[in-house]
Amino acid sequence: MRLPTLRLSLESLLAVIPFALALWWFEASPLLVFTAAAFTIIPLSKVLGSSTEALARFLGPTLGGLLNASMGNAPELIIGVFALRNGLVDVVKASITGSIIGNILLTLGLAMLTGGIKYPVQRFNMAGVRLAMTLMMLAVVGMMVPALFRFASPETEHEISRKIAAILLTVYGLSLLFTLRTHRRRFETPAPEELTITNPGSWKHALAVLAASSVALSFMSEILTDSLEPATQMLGFNPVFSGIILLASLGNVSSIMNAVVFARKDQMDLVVSSVIGAATQVALLVAPVLIFASLLFEKPLDLQFTRLEIVAVAISVLVANNMTLDGECDWLEGAMLLAVFSMLGIGFFFLHHPA
């Protein structure tokens, strides 16, 4: 009986949009503008995801799966593009790192913890997890190469990053072909009824909702990123912490809520595949796309992450891989994932001079 209440609370957050627009129009405090815009990102991300799922049902399993995979991290991608336009390159890099860490530590940890409180042991299909974890290790290698080698000039560093981004995109495309086409049966799992805000009766309705939510999300993302830098300066946050904790978490709120609800229904197959899959999308799709999109702006993005960011992602992948090796989980493993996330968050909060 809690599901209608959850939907109502998400819908009610849409009412914050006019308030956020008014604050932005009258040039209110950046902290107020940022907070209001952040609250609008949550329901808009949910509406975008729900309309994508509804449209995917009309497209069939193959095209629908491709659409879900492509739009899964649309909020992070849209926010990242506007942040790049504002020259917040370090924040965008941190948001990529934070989205990966947040998915495989925070979201998965909360799901394991809440589901494990109700069920002593929960099990899931290992086929998709093994593939996703292997892809994540590939992404870690892609992050490490620019940091390990010293290049002659910044131009060379950007060129290397673009070539690595092209390789990551190619591998991501091959993984979609593998999971959605050539070896689809290996990864099929029963799909429970999912959370939705809208219930479109036709593909035209679903497409209209998708387009409208994308436009609204783009506009609110612009307001959010415009106020991000002055707001975080008022709070005393460094750019790395702002990207890893604040910016990355906004696009994942609806994913966290869905993961917790599905875990409480003992649907860990869906939870683990979607959460680790989302982290893989960020590393192999969102990051490369942002690198190529940054060529349109004054400050191009590269894969030159700090050593601390690389180590944090590598630790997260190794810990999550260790927790999922046996194909089952419990509440203690979820608590340990949350503990690792908390320790990394503390480290980034007190970081003043990125290494």
Tell me the per-residue pLDDT of 325-347, one tens digit each, with 9 for 90 and over: 888 899 999 999 999 999 998 88
Best CA proximity match to 181, nearest among 51, 50, 64, 57: 64
Phi and psi at 123, nearest 5°, equal -120, 155
pLDDT at 80: 85
Side chain identity, residue 298: E
Max mean pLDDT range (16-20, 251-255, 278-282, 334-338): 334-338
- pLDDT for 152 beyond 70: no
- pLDDT for 242 beyond 90: no
Domain 3-192+201-349 annotated CATH 1.20.1420.30: yes
Task: Count the alpha carbons within 13 Å of 171 in the hemisphere toward its beta carbon.
Answer: 20
Say which range, 28-37, 197-206, 291-300, has the weakest mean pLDDT: 197-206
Q: Are 187 and 125 in contact (CB under 8 A)?
A: yes
pTM: 0.81
% of the chain at pLDDT higher than 70:
85
Say which range, 34-38, 154-158, 236-240, 325-329, has the weakest mean pLDDT: 154-158
Torsion of Cα atoms, 247 then 308 then 304 then 229, to 10°: 30
In this predicted model, which residue has the larger pLDDT, 228 or 166? Answer: 166
pLDDT at 68: 61
pLDDT at 217: 81
> For residues 232 and 79, what is the distance between their CA atoms, to the nearest angstrom?
16
pLDDT at 244: 81
- pLDDT for 355 beyond 80: no
| Mean pLDDT score of the chain | 80
> For residues 277 and 270, what is the distance between their CA atoms, to the nearest angstrom?
10
